[in-house]
Amino acid sequence: MPYLKKPIPQPEPIDCRILSAALDLFVRDGYHNVSIHHIQKQANVSVGSIYNHFGGKEGVARALYIHILKEIEELVDDAITAETSPLMQCQRIIRDLFSYTESHRNIIAFVFHARHVEFLPNEPHACDSAPFIKMRGIVAKGIACGELRALDHWVAAATLFGGAIRMIQLRLEGKIEQPLPHYLDEIMTAALSGVKADSDGRAGC
Amino acid sequence: MPYLKKPIPQPEPIDCRILSAALDLFVRDGYHNVSIHHIQKQANVSVGSIYNHFGGKEGVARALYIHILKEIEELVDDAITAETSPLMQCQRIIRDLFSYTESHRNIIAFVFHARHVEFLPNEPHACDSAPFIKMRGIVAKGIACGELRALDHWVAAATLFGGAIRMIQLRLEGKIEQPLPHYLDEIMTAALSGVKADSDGRAGC
DNA sequence: GTCTATATCCAGATAGAC
DNA sequence: GTCTATCTGGATATAGAC
């Protein structure tokens, strides 16, 4: 039996351990309250390895930021392909963000709760990143095709997603007791009624 | 002529200079990127004075935080006394927050943009502070008297204020070109239509 | 009360063995 | 590639003169 040919089941590759340890610590204590040494202990690696892989604490944060934004972008892309109308796409995104907040708390917290500009001054701000640009693109399309009212695009996006984002933040801060999906319908209808065009039949999407 | 009896016009008392210098720096660079020495230089005082008045950097931040929350609370109180119905009070608060964002940018930025928990771990979170509790109280009253729909209170508050807060944040980040009051009407009607009760005449407030 | 000069500490970064 | 040990810079905090 080839026991010995099997590699010892290394639980995770070293860079993943570093990233997930850093994510936990950054979210719990805030970037500036976490030192390389904290990460090193939590991930069971050495300082040297962290520098080898990421070039330092800021490098870890940058890798994390990019990785997580990519994950959010996938969530948005999935919504875009799964639904046809902009309105349904927005609904889908909110729904998925809500359930993601429950299942991948720290990922959502890192995006919606950290002030990246304070430690990644050279990275574009989150709201200039691909997933958020795409979300605004959906809103613009909804307005163009008459599904949404002809509001300023920023206003429409803020109204549509503002309430949901606020709920996510409150949930992350522990203010809201129930899991977010519990509030999904109420939030959705409230947000939509602010931006939906008067339903006079034409859905040109 | 009593020229000499007049005190030399000291532009500001020392502790105010410290606080306003700290506010500027905290907002611009983030608490953790600002040192006592930065504050000292910007305020034209000595390190010793800062320690005498506030006991250190954290003390400065705490004093600032408390002071600013009190200012926001006044804004909320003014709205409550100036208007009678909860709905009008909410409108008034949003309107005043918008104009405050333009006229007292850093004050609003410090409240809505900084992560206080990361440097004032023993202070209550902003959303547990008096002004925000009062805002939720207004919402609760609006629901109780039938002016607002019978939503979950968190949902109602998030819907009513979420869009406006999002606009404030975007404006602070420089994403929005126009001064906020320019968007006031659109934001207001969009937010209100999500929470207003079907107008069937009864306004029991 | 206000200042300058100094002490202490700790995080970030590096060197060099394995 | 991974580790430990060490160096360095800078920030907080204090001491003591004025």
Per-residue pLDDT of B137-165, as tens digits, reads: 999 999 999 999 999 999 999 999 999 99
Q: Is residue B149 part of a domain?
A: yes
Which residues of chain B make contact with A162, given a CB cutoff of 8 A?
158, 162-167
Which of the four pLDDT bands, split at 50, 70 and 90, describes residue B4? very low
- B48 CA to D16 C1' distance (Å): 12
Q: Is residue A24 part of a domain?
A: no
For residue B94, give the 3-state DSSP assignment.
helix
Shortest CA to C1' contact from B51: nucleotide: D13
- The 10s digit of each residue's pLDDT in A95-141 is 999 999 999 999 999 999 999 999 999 999 999 999 999 999 999 99
- The 10s digit of each residue's pLDDT in B121-132 is 999 999 999 999
> Would you say residue A1 has pLDDT above 60?
no
Shortest CA to C1' contact from B40: nucleotide: C3
> Would you say residue B5 has pLDDT above 70?
no
Q: Residue B190: left (phi > 0), alpha (psi -120 to 50), or beta?
A: alpha
Please check whether residue A119 is in contact with residue A60, taking contact to mean a CB–CB distance below 8 angstroms: no
Instruction: Report the pLDDT value the prediction gives residue B7, as an integer from 0 to 100.
Output: 52
Instruction: Report the pLDDT value the prediction gives residue B198, as an integer from 0 to 100.
Output: 81
For residue A144, give the 3-state DSSP assignment.
helix
- The 10s digit of each residue's pLDDT in B16-61 is 999 999 999 999 999 999 999 999 999 999 999 999 999 999 999 9
> In this complex, do A30 and B117 lie within 8 Å of one another by their Cβ atoms?
yes
Report which of B103, B134, B105, B129 is spatially closest to residue B116, judged by C-alpha positions.
B129
As a whole number of angstroms, the distance between CA B187 and CA A155 comes to 6
Q: Which two tokens stand for residue B2?
A: 């009593």
- A119 CA to D18 C1' distance (Å): 41
With 0-12 / 13-18 / 19 or more C-beta atoms within 10 angstroms meaning exposed / middle / buried, residue A112 is middle
- The domain that contains A77 carries what CATH number? 1.10.357.10
> In this complex, do B32 and A32 lie within 8 Å of one another by their Cβ atoms?
yes
Task: Confirm whether any atom of chain C, the nucleic acid strand, is less than 7 Å from CB of B7.
Answer: no
- The 10s digit of each residue's pLDDT in A14-65 is 999 999 999 999 999 999 999 999 999 999 999 999 999 999 999 999 999 9
Q: Is residue B119 part of a domain?
A: yes
Instruction: Report the pLDDT value the prediction gives residue B110, as an integer from 0 to 100.
Output: 98
Of B202 and A36, the one with more pLDDT: A36
Q: Is residue A168 part of a domain?
A: yes
Q: Which two tokens stand for residue B31?
A: 């608490």
CA B86 to chain centre: 19
Q: Which of B117, B127, B158 sits opposite A163 (nearest CB)?
A: B158
- B37 CA to C7 C1' distance (Å): 16
Please check whether residue A136 is in contact with residue A161, taking contact to mean a CB–CB distance below 8 angstroms: no
As a whole number of angstroms, the distance between CA A112 and CA A94 comes to 13
- B66 CA to C7 C1' distance (Å): 33
Question: Which residue places its CA closest to the C1' of nucleotide C14?
Answer: A48
Question: Which residue places its CA closest to the C1' of nucleotide D10?
Answer: B35
Least confident of A7-21, A73-87, A183-197, B16-30: A7-21
Q: Which domain holds residue A143?
A: 67-195
- The 10s digit of each residue's pLDDT in B60-114 is 999 999 999 999 999 999 999 999 999 999 999 999 999 999 999 999 999 999 9
Which residues of chain A make contact with B162, given a CB cutoff of 8 A?
158, 162-167
> In this complex, do B32 and A29 lie within 8 Å of one another by their Cβ atoms?
no
Least confident of A5-9, A70-74, B22-26, B182-186: A5-9
Which helix (H) or strand (E) segment is B16 a member of? helix B14-29
User: How many of the other CB atoms lie within 10 Å of CB of A199?
Assistant: 8
Q: Is residue A150 part of a domain?
A: yes
Q: Is residue B114 part of a domain?
A: yes
Residue A191's alpha-carbon distances to B70, B151, B193, B198, in angstroms, are: 31, 13, 9, 16
Instruction: Report the pLDDT value the prediction gives residue A4, as an integer from 0 to 100.
Output: 46
Q: Is residue B169 part of a domain?
A: yes
Interface residue ranges in chain B relative to chain A, Cβ cutoff 8 Å? 29-33, 113-115, 117-119, 125, 127-128, 149, 151-152, 154-156, 158-159, 161-167, 170, 173, 175-176, 183, 186-187, 189-195
Q: Is residue A2 part of a domain?
A: no
Rounded to 5 degrees, φ, ψ at B23 are -60, -50
Task: Give B155→chain A minimum CA distance, Å.
Answer: 6
* Average pLDDT value over all residues in chain B: 94
> Dihedral of CA B35/B37/B38/B43: which sign?
positive
As a whole number of angstroms, the distance between CA A81 and CA B106 comes to 41
Instruction: Report the pLDDT value the prediction gives residue B8, as an integer from 0 to 100.
Output: 54
Question: Which residue places its CA closest to the C1' of nucleotide C1?
Answer: B49
Q: Which of A115, A158, A191 sits opposite B167 (nearest CB)?
A: A158
Task: Confirm whether any atom of chain C, the nucleic acid strand, is less than 7 Å from CB of B49.
Answer: yes
Instruction: Report the pLDDT value the prediction gives residue A134, as an integer from 0 to 100.
Output: 98
Please check whether residue B109 is in contact with residue B27, taking contact to mean a CB–CB distance below 8 angstroms: yes
Which of the four pLDDT bands, split at 50, 70 and 90, describes residue A9? low
Task: Confirm whether any atom of chain C, the nucleic acid strand, is less than 7 Å from CB of B52.
Answer: yes
DSSP string computed for A31-78: GGG--HHHHHHHHT--HHHHHHHHSSHHHHHHHHHHHHHHHHHHHHHH
- The 10s digit of each residue's pLDDT in A149-167 is 999 999 999 999 999 999 9
Task: Confirm whether any atom of chain D, the nucleic acid strand, is less than 7 Å from CB of B119.
Answer: no
- Mean pLDDT across A73-84: 98
How many independent structural domains does chain B possess? 1
As a whole number of angstroms, the distance between CA B169 and CA A154 comes to 12
